Every structure is written in C-alpha cells, then in structure tokens.
C-alpha cells in the first residue's frame, strides 16, 4: 500500500503575523490558500522554494478566542493514501480507533499511540460512499 506525506498543520491566531514569520523571515512561499465561509476558517499552505512536497498548513479559525498553548497549536500530520477504506480497515482490525471515519470516501482521522492526530486523504479524490464507513459516527476528537 502506497502512502505519501502531504503536510503538517498548525493553528494560528493571526495569518498575516504568521506569514511574516514563515515567509518573510524563514523564506517559505505561499503555495495556495482556501477560505471556507461555511466552516469559518482559512487554510494557507506554505513550503520552501522548490519543495512543494514539504508543506506546512496554517489554519486560522475566524472569530476564535481560544488561546492555543503548546500541543493545541499543533494540528495534525496528513498523508495521501492509496485506498482510505482499506487502510482504515487495516487500522481498525489492529485495534486503532477511527476518530473521524471516511464517510465521504475521501478523509479520515486517527490518532497515534501518543495521541498525535493523523489525517488520511484518499489519493485521486473521493471514493463512492461505502458501509460501514458511511453511517459510522465520530469517536473522540482529532
């Protein structure tokens, strides 16, 4: 089964202040940005010049007053996987809790033994919804 590193996510309070640090001082470049009106968040993907495979995702939740302490500011590791359903089944069969099942055929979240949140994204986009995943609820948080 193939797996590909995608990005590491960190939560930020101020996108522009964070971009000044990551881009102006460290030298990363903005690769893409997504504003999600419904979810009230902005995602900004950065990478070193010529290294788009080494991305960091800055996540800004609009209107959030939460203070992100160490541990909470780190979000998750993300990997593109060949078959999100097959990998989730393998993980579940090995006793791993699927915190956010791949109901949409595209995205799932699990946690490492140390509680690190791992996002799994199906390569090539979403598969058709499939049971037991389509009706499986969330467990805990991710």
Active site members = 119
Q: What is the DSSP letter of 29?
A: E
Closest listed residue to residue 8, CA positions, set 59, 71, 76? 76
- Which residues on neighbouring strands pair with residue 117, listed in sequence order? 111
Bond preceding residue 132 cis, omega within 30 of 0: yes
């Amino acid at each position: 089964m193939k797996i590909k590193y995608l990005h590491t996510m960190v939560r930020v309070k101020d996108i522009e202040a964070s971009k000044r640090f990551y881009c102006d001082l460290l030298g990363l470049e903005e690769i893409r940005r997504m504003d999600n009106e419904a979810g009230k968040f902005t995602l900004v993907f950065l990478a070193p010049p010529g290294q788009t495979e080494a991305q960091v995702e800055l996540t800004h939740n609009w209107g959030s007053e939460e203070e992100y302490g160490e541990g909470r500011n780190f979000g998750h590791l993300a990997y593109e996987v060949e078959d999100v359903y097959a990998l989730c089944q393998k993980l579940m069969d090995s006793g791993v809790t699927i915190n956010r099942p791949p109901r949409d055929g595209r995205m799932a979240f699990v946690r490492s033994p140390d509680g690190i949140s791992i996002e799994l994204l199906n390569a090539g986009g979403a598969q058709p919804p499939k049971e037991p995943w389509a009706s499986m609820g969330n467990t805990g948080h991710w």
